[in-house]
Structure 1
């Protein structure tokens, strides 16, 4: 049973424990800190009371980013809604809160649904708590449980949306092209992402789901010949880069010497003065070894 208070109270930050920590995007976190510093805290965090050996403490239920922002700003206390809830209820509330975030990461969504499933919740209960459809929840669980590592990596890297990955996992190979066309028509996959999705589908059909230990090509890629070929390709790339750097250096030396020769021509210097171009940028004068930025 969970009891939620309706009035926020100030809680010492050092008495709050983060029981379900998450990694935050640094840029988004800094923006949150700036917003709180300028406008204040718009929504209190949520904590649950705990009676520990050292006295009263609190477990964080929702609001890790806000809590860390207050710590970053050097605050000792933070407004919080204090509830009475079991560890189990707090974990579920935290997972559901993460699912409800507007800008959550796709892989966090997948893992949090799996986390609820591991806690013993049925598909229907997960759908109800997360406000997702039953079909979607079951599809995501299938994506995780069937070992769709290739699709999961594509979702994590942002190449395809979660919904499209689930549809691909549920479809027969002959129906995948229909799914890609529908994703294009629904503006879910366009341009480079559509091409990347097609390559992903071809790789999945040809080499499998990408499960560790089942991809024979992955094992063969560790052969001596493959390693030597990779090393040789890397060497060739560095040689090309070195040739380009050498050519650029030679061109720069030629331009420098040509400009130095021109500046030693009195007629050319007189023309520059007449056009109001009697000075040079410092970087250029340093390279030409001129004493000042003024053309003599």
Structure 2
């Protein structure tokens, strides 16, 4: 089935084939525009061939518009139905997401990886997405090297692509030369240069991959009790050791005081040239007296 006619389709019958996490500000803007001027462009769907979804249609493009209609309590949305199998529909959806401005870097990685895995080369991916061939070629090279951290920085505009490629392929000396040249030409100045240096430190310490921070589970009551009990035991051991050392010092000070009052002992110390007592020890002995 293929038609350019716009028809109304139930929003509950549309399966989002390639869901993407949308920036909340952008999502709110889409909703506001639809409330103000209405839907400017219908969504694009294809007939679903996957019975597991339980939906009649697969969404090709228009996730933000669909979600805005659903949030507004609408039951139907204008749509154009195209003839495409699930694979082609998925690729079309990815291409649309990649070509958007302000794209999420991880979505960009996922999309380009998927297209590359389907056998498309850098030229074909560039043509499909409308992005520059040199840019796609560089990004693919970074992806092949596992440089997710660098791809993220390039996509967010924190460093030029050629600097990222230098970091991925050159030694430390060449990297520093490239950074110096970028600074002198004004491509990396101020906060951008500092951000690149921090990125290099994180890359050296944590590696090339972007890893999501692990969520820390709140300790249970039993775990807190165990921690508290262990802390008490540790402090008791420290107090016992401190008392033992205090007793040893007290005994030693008393014994040394007694020896220093012995004339024969002090004469022997003078004969051996050991009659000077460290200041801190002398003060301690005076306190004991």
Q: Please, what TM-score do these two structures have when normalized by structure 2?
A: 0.61
Q: How far apart, CA to CA, are the structure 2 residues paired with 1:87 and 1:198? A: 44
In the alignment, the residues of structure 2 paired with residue 109 and residue 163 of structure 1 have an alpha-carbon distance, to the nearest angstrom, of 18
Inter-partner Cα distance in structure 1 for 2:175 and 2:2: 47
Equivalent-residue separation in structure 1 for 2:116 and 2:22 (angstroms): 24
User: 2: CA distance between counterparts of 1:185 and 1:92?
Assistant: 42
C-alpha RMSD of the superposition: 3.1
Report if the CA contact (8 A) 2:166-2:174 is conserved.
no
| Pair 1:94-2:93 in alignment | yes
Find the partner of 2:8 among 7, 10, 20.
10
Which secondary structure state, in structure 2, belongs to the residue aligned with residue 82 of structure 1? strand
- 1:88: how far off? 1.3
- Go from structure 1 to structure 2 and tell me whether the alpha carbon gap of 1:183 and 1:21 turns closer, same or farther (over 3 Å shift): farther
In the alignment, structure 1 residue 26 sits paired with structure 2 residue 24: yes
Task: Report deviation, 1:109.
Answer: 2.1
Distance in 1 (CA, whole Å) between partners of 2:152 and 2:54 is 45
How far does the alpha carbon of each residue in 1:247-270 deviate from its partner, in whole angstroms, 9 at most, with x for none? xxxxxxxxxxxxxxxxxxxxxxxx
Residue 209 (structure 1) shift: 7.5
Distance 2:85 2:130 in 1: 22
Is contact 1:6-1:81 (8 Å) kept?
yes
> Alignment length, in residue pairs?
208
User: Are the counterparts in 2 of residues 159 and 197 from structure 1 also a CA contact under 8 Å?
Assistant: yes
Unpaired runs of 5+ residues, structure 1, are: 213-296
Tell me which residue corresponds to 2:110: 111
- Return the offset for 1:164: 4.2
TM-score, length basis structure 1: 0.60
1:210 aligns with 2:207: yes
Structure 2 unpaired stretches of 5+: 210-289
Cα deviation for residue 58 of structure 1 reads: 0.7
Q: Secondary structure at the match of 2:34?
A: helix
Question: Aligned equivalents of 1:94 and 1:45: distance in 2?
Answer: 11
Partners of 1:148 and 1:211 within 8 A in 2: yes
Counterparts of 1:30-69 in structure 2 under 5 Å? 30-50=28-48, 57-69=56-68
